[in-house]
Structure 1
């Protein structure tokens, strides 16, 4: 699954479920791929638990027993939804029905079978012995309507153990909701059509396969799936395998029966189903690979760019992994309603439209880059996640971190030079979350991740961004080329190196006293509390001003450590963590900070590009944590009048945005904006020639002109009135490309009219106006507007129960909603309102986005303290620079 999408404790090479430890998996991944592809033995069962010999009671927690092993599913689904409603029908039937036969291997002798069902009506259950077809007595079955979602099947006798096979047959029916989870309905309008079109889509990660058919819905319980979909004429069904459709009649009505080739052995969450009238483009050089989208989008060429780069990225991965993509088909589909950016379903990858479609006429450079990045991320998952899969969700980070990290090489194969941007997009993003006491380790204990809410919370910046940062650090720590080939022999203690980064929360700040060489490490926390005393294994890379050759040393314990290499003379400066390869911040004595500052003002090119951004980010965050005088951090931005590179500017603007958020409701805001205008003038003048000539810079990170549309729309609405707002609203409704609609939707949040912002907030709860998948980002857009922030917070607080119940199941970004509407919080009254919401959540036992709520409370507490201590200092500094 993309980030706006894993591995457990024992190696089982050559089987369907491959599990590795959090540390061992990092270095054995490539080796395991080679073994996986070369082996054909059937799935071996997990080791039996210590459950009773004849268990009939439910498991003590919400995990399934592991002595019933599914090996094959035959699933038939019949959906009663037309793509376009015929004239002789007055209303649609929003439901589906079906049956499933799962072949099980029984390793014990249970008197009951437990599997998963959610929001389905199970109408019949049969159990037969596979070899003789002997029917077993079923005393009864019931669904547990709690977090377990168990379908409990009580038997008249008991199953045989020792690997005896049984066939479990169920019939079921369910509703096609519009909640963006399980198998759901979606409504859209083609510009050339008079009537609404409807399609069916699925999103099963992490625990929603059970909403489609009864199944053993845990990632380790892999199986082969044989899917058949019965659907209306005029629609096309897609699933994970190659489709074989044929017409038939059922009860006097015409239907299409589409049978799909068997899937590889895979987890339930990787299944996908769509029924639509979409059209497709064939990916050149690859048989059985297509890009599917709405007919108008295909006709307009919006799938052309994805078609061009898919083969290139996939081939690149095959080369560097030394392992071919193993399946016969790989389709990608752009969906009008999809709750996440993309999903890596094996053989049928699903995307939001803006993640797969690109319009050359209206799209920005970032829109195009986003398509390439998402495709690279999801294609990487075909190896990291689909072929090699986590045993349980506590190790989700390996799945998503590898895909995130590898996507930077994937987009490079497609012509995008984004390698250095991982520092801005992943490392700095992870730093902010991981500097909170309420953060978490990359890998949690299995028992700490049980419920749906606990699983959903793992889809965060720790999983994606910190995980990618740690992998980048590991790659730099290892010999060149060793990371991609896998470690067969090494003299380095990789387990000792990695365990401290994977198993404990947070990251260190390395403090270097350059006059003595004394070096210490301790946990970096925005709101300083005790922290933990466990040291990280840190490799420190550094250069000195008289010797720019990079050196390195290691730090493996806490407390002062004499490091002669870190000593410098009076006229030297020292710079550590070169190119920010290590996941840690660096602090120096004030004298060294001032020397670095003078070097930037004298000749900034001596400092490596990434480190110019890193110095700014470290300094501002050290100041927020009361470890550095805030004036030093602010002074580091002065040299930017001469620097034209993207990384240091973006790093500075991201950190200065915090000052804007803290002070744009006070008298400090005026001096801040005047200083920013003064600093950016040189940058504008540098790029003015490109703007005037209508030319485009060669470097992607230098490009401005193609990306102005969003800012222009916003400025126009901010300066406009109700008529202007209504004009853009109409343009939004008429827009045919998702990227253009997103720009217009953002622009609508820029108005200063309070009543328009309040009305716009109400629109977010009406899917006919704002699609469900856009609800969170739209509210966050409004909260970004200083006029809209208090309105957005009051709206979310007042509607929290409704939002969590109506949207929580299909959209996994409620944490980002809380984060977005509380970015400005720096006042006591705002803190009390957050704590009140937390108390209400605890009282109602909701637990939705609980960690995110705890994090924004901690951040608000830190903001309150920082503003009280620094407001006058900041005001004085900015006034002094005007």
Structure 2
């Protein structure tokens, strides 16, 4: 407990209920909250005499401190005492769920000031005996000014306290408040999650603070640099369990407000940021183990724990924790590692320090229902969150403009942690498909953005939420992987370890990491063309990436900013003039060569001249964040190598050649038919990564042509190419009765069935429909978990209302979240418009589809060619409702807008999209703001591409089908 005066826990707990009772009753509070929710009014400043408040419209921005989104640099918190009492039953009159709280925060004044600003959002305050919303006291005997006026500034989310004198630099003070909040179902701050267990509806209280929602739970200095210690106490019903970041020190039975309840107190946290706080009340069960005195616990619904669904997570958490301790050369800094599965959770998981929250599908594994991809997702997400325990939690970026380093780093090393847990999977290779190729598609648009933003450009909560995108996560991961590779892993980890050691429990900016990596380079044999800072700034401070073109007849190597639409105008200036310092790993006819650097727009590298039948392949293992193009002769040699003996090219680079070729074609750098020629060899390919790369790129062709005459010949060609793969898996699985042994083989079996059925291979369609009918007839599911997603989808697409309604009932009654997710996606595959329209209506009814799943379900429907226009019409008609009810700060809006517009390729659709932007300018798009512009740009590019390529593509597929027939 910190030195100085503050409200003791016993006094604080008593005070909360005495003070809040003075407001009148819970019902009165609920009514106030109901009114506040409907009006969202702002409380105006009070005069110096009483606690009366009035409301007024939100003012226009001014230079007043309370109209700025960043806190003034006058006060620094030291520690908080927070007691919260969530009510897990609704008020009988208003039906609102609420929580009550009391908080005291001790802070130091670092600059004289007569103003206290502390973040607060959607909290209703008790007027204290001084007639104001808070009570201020000095930690020692020093005098303390009175609060002259107090009010809530809703636009900038502050509790504002004007003083009649100045707080003195170097002096410590304490601020005490009592408040009520709504335990809403909005998935942010302190919220409720609802689920059904054995026919009984249950409610739990949980949190999601990142990035700016701790202020919805209690008044706090809600910026990542303002780290503090936290003493948390939770009041909760008997029969429930309370959890928080710290280890529980004891639970006692107390009588409060006429009720007998439990009071759980927790150890003081380490010094940490507000966004990493968590507190949860539930009737969950758990399993546990101990590794090196760290208590590891997995919490979930009681039936899930009883069924062993937490066992896999428990078994891999210890090894992954130990891996990161070694990787960081730093002992795990907490005595426990709790992980808990939440039924309603917007993100995949959240790295709260010591109490990590997950979607159920990201933590719980069931042998019968979970596919190998589900298992991999659990391993990588656990590794991602555990990586944050050091990188992000122990050392935290100073402000959200550097979010990319936090999330990009975890997105990179999650593959290393998962590889430690499952070394036979070769999961580290999958970063190429999962992150590098994924983010190329976004970063090749003129509406992309650099990894690092200026701090002053990221102010509002909505601007912060926009940063949680593929650029921050996947590009961040990709460039850090490239950095680790050219530094070597030993040098990279050495710099990382000294960085973590120096800044433990503190805050940094991204260049601090570069300094420590440079220190490691300076004591190593690594030879760089420039400093780490200079090299990495070319990748961090400008958007996009280069295409490196190699002319093997002259050795000329050049670079150019790669844009999917080469005619698009780049209006964002770059101090580097879109020039990068590029590391090039390469091979010549299968022999690995010494790496090279390209530090200018172009350079001649004589070693890259080839002759005769020799071929050159650059960006070995796709460790560089760039695409590669070659002269026509080298392309021909590479295609010949694929068609004659594809195994001479590493499997990752086979996937790269396909992906680069298709995207170079979209950018008009090579002909589209040349890209299609990279698929000719696939009839002989059995590895997963090249097939997955091809299917990811051919998905664009499906989107562009599944409403045109190209579709038939394309189906015929792909059916002929996939049939040997389908037969291969039929053979090695003994007519589909066994599971392929390898992790990647299991993935490719899914590809084989999915593409074969989608392209009309009758044997495949009969197979999946037979399995599904057997399930309907016997109520015993014969379909292996790996195959369920694709089998369900294809069977529902081939069927009608009977199949759909059967799957819907199975979805509604599913007790395994992973199985429910598979069914929810498959229900969008029906070809019946009336079923799809009904399903769309369900997406905005939380009784049918959970709020966390609403936007992804709409996207699933939009991926169906029959559902595309239905989903777009639905989103346009309901945008105001969706945006309001599903939270303007939701991370899923960019996915929603991109998802429902991916197929857009006509002038009519472009005009609709522009009209949508104009019609909803006042409502806003939140985290989807940038996605609207990206969708417009993508639609324009699609239109041009179809106009220029349709005839050639139709001819190529027609001719290729004749050859392969």
| TM-score (structure 2 length as normaliser) | 0.83
Q: Deviations over 1:544-591 (max 9, x none)?
A: 22x612222111122x42221221224322111111111000111122
Match of 1:115 in 2: 118
**Displacement, 1:421?**
0.7
Deviations 1:392-427 (A, max 9, x none): 100001110111111101111111420111100000
Aligned partners of 1:361, 1:185: CA distance in 2, in Å? 30
Quote the residue 1:381 is aligned against.
Answer: 388
Moved more, 838-847 or 374-383: 838-847
Aligned partners of 1:692, 1:602: CA distance in 2, in Å? Answer: 29
The one of 781, 798, 810 aligned to 1:719 = 798
Match in the other structure for 2:161: 153
Question: How far apart in 2 are the matches of 1:447 and 1:90?
Answer: 46
2:734 and 2:898 mapped to 1: Cα distance? 39
**Aligned pairs, number:** 818
* Matched residue, 1:220: 225
- The residue correspondences of 1:502-651 to structure 2 (distance < 5 A) are 502-528=540-566, 529-531=568-570, 533-545=577-589, 548-558=591-601, 560-651=602-693
Aligned equivalents of 1:57, 1:461: Cα separation in 2: 35
Q: 8 Å contact 1:231–1:255 — kept in the other structure?
A: yes
Alignment of 1:69-80 (within 5 A): 69-80=76-87
Give distance in 2, aligned partners of 1:860 and 1:171. 52
Secondary structure of 1:157's partner?
A: strand
Tell me the secondary structure at the aligned position of residue 437 of structure 1.
coil
Distance 1:109 1:496 in 2: 40
Task: Output the CA distance in 2 between the equivalents of 1:820 and 1:809.
Answer: 18
When residues 749 and 60 of structure 1 are mapped into structure 2, their CA distance, relative to the original with a 3 A threshold, is closer
Residue 122 and residue 60 in structure 1: after superposition, are their counterparts in 2 closer, same or farther (change >3 A)?
A: closer
Aligned-residue offset at 1:174: 0.9
Q: Paired residue for 1:450, among 445, 455, 459?
A: 459
Match of 1:210 among 212, 215, 229: 215
Compared with structure 1, are the counterparts of its residues 407 and 364 closer, same or farther at alpha carbon in structure 2 (3 Å cutoff)? same
8 Å contact kept, 1:841–1:847? no
- Taking the TM superposition and a 5 Å limit, the aligned residue runs for 1:180-219 are 180-190=187-197, 192=198, 194-219=199-224
The 3 A distance-change label for structure 1 pair 56 and 858 is closer
Asked whether the equivalents of residues 393 and 455 of structure 1 are also in contact (C-alpha less than 8 Å), the reply is: yes
Provide the residue aligned with 2:263 in structure 1: 257
How do residues 131-170 of structure 1 correspond to structure 2 at under 5 angstroms? Answer: 131-132=140-141, 134-146=143-155, 148-161=156-169, 163-170=170-177
Which position in structure 2 is the counterpart of 1:47? Answer: none
Matched-pair contact (CA < 8 Å) for 1:430–1:462: yes
Q: Which moved more, 1:172-181 or 1:805-814?
A: 805-814
Q: CA RMSD of the aligned region, Å? A: 1.8
Report the Cα distance in structure 2 between the residues aligned to 1:482 and 1:287, rounded to whole angstroms.
29
Q: Distance in 2 between matches of 1:687 and 1:729?
A: 30
Measured against aligned partners, the alpha-carbon deviations of 1:815-860 in whole angstroms (never above 9, x if no partner) come to: 0011111111111111111111122233445555111111111111
Over 3 Å counting, the alpha-carbon distance change for 1:719 and 1:213 in structure 2 is: same
Deviations 1:615-667 (A, max 9, x none): 11000000001111111100011011111111111001100111011000001
Partner of 1:781: 860
Distance 1:710 1:401, change over 3 A: same
Greater relative contact order (CA < 8 Å, ≥ 6 in sequence): 1
Higher helix share: 2
C-alpha contact 1:56 1:112 (8 A) present in aligned 2: no
CA displacement 1:341-382 (0-9 Å, x = unmatched): 100000100001011101111211111111111111111110
For the 8 Å contact 1:544–1:573, the answer to whether it is kept is yes
8 Å contact from structure 1 (residues 179, 809) kept in 2: no
Q: Distance in 2 between matches of 1:739 and 1:675?
A: 34
Any idea what the Cα deviations from partners look like across 1:53-91, whole Å, max 9, x if unmatched?
A: xx9941673100122101100011122225xx99xx899
CA distance in 2, matches of 1:738, 1:861: 39
> 5+ unaligned residues in a row in structure 1: which ranges?
1-54
Choose the corresponding residue for 1:817, options 870, 881, 896.
Answer: 896
2:483 matched to 1:474? yes
Confirm whether residue 805 of structure 1 aligns to residue 836 of structure 2.
Answer: no
2:700 aligned with 1:691, yes or no? no
State the secondary structure of the residue aligned to 1:842: coil
The aligned counterpart of 1:97 is 100
1:369 alignment partner in structure 2: 376
- Is 1:459 aligned with 2:459? no
User: Which position in structure 2 is the counterpart of 1:311?
Assistant: 318
Contact 1:126 1:135 in 2 (8 A): no
Residue among 703, 709, 717 paired with 2:788: 709
Q: For the Cα contact (< 8 Å) 2:556–2:605, is it kept in 1?
A: yes
Q: 1:760 aligns to what? A: 839
- What per-residue deviation string (whole Å, max 9, x for no partner) do you get for residues 470-516 of structure 1? 01100111134111121334253211111100111100011112111
Q: Distance in 2 between matches of 1:171 and 1:706?
A: 50
Contact 2:893 2:925 in 1 (8 A): no
CA shift digits 1:147-176 (9 cap, x unpaired): x21211001111011x21110111111111
The answer to whether structure 1 residue 497 and structure 2 residue 535 are counterparts is: yes
Q: Check whether the contact 2:491–2:521 (CA below 8 A) recurs between aligned residues.
A: no
Which of 61, 74, 78 is the equivalent residue of 2:68? 61
What SS class does the counterpart of residue 251 from structure 2 fall into?
A: strand
Which residue does the alignment assign to 1:280? 286
TM-score normalized by the length of structure 1: 0.91
Using the TM superposition, give the Cα deviation of residue 289 of structure 1 relative to its aligned residue in structure 2, in angstroms.
2.2
**Aligned match of 1:659 in 668, 681, 701?**
701
Preserved contact between residue 658 and residue 679 of structure 2 (Cα < 8 Å): yes
Q: CA deviation at 1:300?
A: 1.1
SS of equivalent residue, structure 1 residue 636: helix
Secondary structure at 2:336's aligned position in 1? coil
Distance 1:395 1:90 in 2: 46
